[in-house]
Structure 1
Amino acid sequence: MGIYGSIPPQLGNLSFLRSLDLRSNYFSGTLPHELSSLRRLKYLSLWSNGMKGEIPSWLSLLPKLEYLSLRNNTFIGSIPISISNLTNLYYLDFSTNSLQGKIPQELGGMQRLQHLSIQYNYLSGSIPPALFNISTLRVLAFSVNMLSGRIPNELCANLPSIEKLHLRGNRLSGQIPSNLSRCSQLELLSLSSNSFRGQIPAAVGDLRALQFLDLSENHLSGTLPLSIFDISSLQVLSLERTNLYGNIPREIGNLTMLESLDLGYNNFTDVIPREIGQHIIQLEHLTLQGNMLSGTIPYEIFNISTLRSLALSGNGLSGALPTNLCSGIPFLNVLYVGDNSLSGRIPESISNCSYLMDLDLSANKFTGAVPHSLGSLTFIKGLNIIDNNLITGSSSSELSFITSLTNCRFLTTFVY
Structure 2
Amino acid sequence: MHDIAFIRANPEAFDAAMKRRGADPVADRIVALDAKKREAQTRVQEAQSRRNEASKAIGQAMGQGDKDRAEALKAEVAEIKAGMPQWEEAEHAADAELEDLLARLPNIPADDVPEGADETENVEVASWGEKRNFDFEPKEHADLGPALGMDFETGAKLSGARFTFLRGDIARLHRALAQFMLDTQTRKHGYTECNPPVLVNDAAMYGTDKLPKFAEDSFRTTDDRWLVPTSEVSLTASVADQILGDLAEPVRLTAHTLCFRSEAGSAGRDTRGFIRQHQFEKVELVSICRPDDSAAEHERMVRCAEHILEALHLPYRRVFLCTGDMGFGARKTFDLEVWLPGQGAYREISSCSNTGDFQARRMNARYRPEGEKKTRFVHTLNGSGLAVGRTLVAVMENYQNQDGSVTVPQCLASYMGGVDKLEPAA
TM-score normalised per structure 1: 0.19
Tell me: higher relative CO, structure 1 or 2? Use CA pairs within 8 A at least 6 residues apart.
2
- Greater fraction of residues in helix: 2
- Taking structure 2 as the reference length, what is the TM-score of the superposition? 0.19
Higher strand share: 1
